[in-house]
Amino acid sequence: NTDIESAAVHVKSGHFDDPASRAGLAHFHEHMLFLGTDKYPKEEEYEGFLSRNGGSSNAYTDMEDTNYYFSVAPLDHSSGDDNDDNDESENDDDTEEEDGVSAALTGALDRFAQFFISPLFNPNMVQRELKAIDSEYKNALSSDMWRTYMLLKSSSNPKHPFSKFGCGNYDTLTNFVNVGNSGKEEDGGARNDLIQFWQEKYTGSNMKLCVYGKASLDELQKVVEQTFGDVRPGLPKSTSPTPSSSSSSNKQLFTTESTKYNNAVAFPPSSLSKIQEVIPVAEQRTIKILFATPPLDDEDIVDSRPYRVLSHLLGHESVGRLLFF
């Protein structure tokens, strides 16, 4: 049993998929999904429902992945205090409770699922979210961790997507066009690119859903099918990458290395054996040693996970070890 119920959707798409002309699009897309859907057009509908049910939500955009998640603490809403205009889920509260799935989790899943079924990408919200992205970017400029990360990116192979500017800012997302407060002016094609990104990347074959609740697996599955059943299936994906001819001719030990991004290597030999010295914003003394490693999901090491052994040896704090001092 659990007092908290939750769910998460993991999308196999991140800022590596940003188009060259729209740095930060995946990050911007993550922001815009929260701002209304066809079924629940009100901006505050999702967050408001979670808040009334003792829950919260968040999301993050990574290099190859984007994750959305929420939690609720099921409460007794039998008194009918929920004043939502959209009451499709609430009308079935009694049935849901009898089936063992809380009204809180069912209602949250119904609202959550619409992100991946019918988001609005409301043009009136574009300007505000562009400014929110730009604010994140400007705040990060004084972060030493972020600055060294950007330095690392800038020293990588420009033909590899690791070199992309994943955060984005107002200029990169609008092609230096002022959207205007109404959001109805020319936006440099940002909204059209958002819709295209969603259509291409946000399909069932590119996503995974995890639901954690009090009910039985059969009961949870039934609610998932009811709420997420209209997610577009997309095309089946290949489970094993095909090694390129160049990698075979080079007799690489790890067959998937450099095969994913047009054979581009993020850090080729010319980018290694380098020392970079940085003057930090804050007073600190830090040393970072970075190693180029083979893909962690390569079939030759996915089971043995040798990097865990290296991590243990380097991170052990016993007497005489590096981290002991």
Catalytic residues: 30
- Calpha distance 51→121 (Å, rounded): 23
Q: What share of the chain is helix, strand, coil (3-state, %, to 5)?
A: 40, 10, 50
- The phi, psi pair for 60, rounded to 5°, reads -150, 150
Coil vs helix vs strand at 185 = coil
Fill in the DSSP letter of residue 269.
Answer: G
What does the buried/exposed string (b/e) look like for 205-214 if buried means 16 or more CB atoms within 10 Å of the residue's CB? ebbebebebb
- Calpha distance 272→155 (Å, rounded): 10
Backbone conformation region of residue 183, classed left if phi is above 0, alpha if psi is from -120 to 50, else beta: left
- The phi, psi pair for 132, rounded to 5°, reads -65, -45
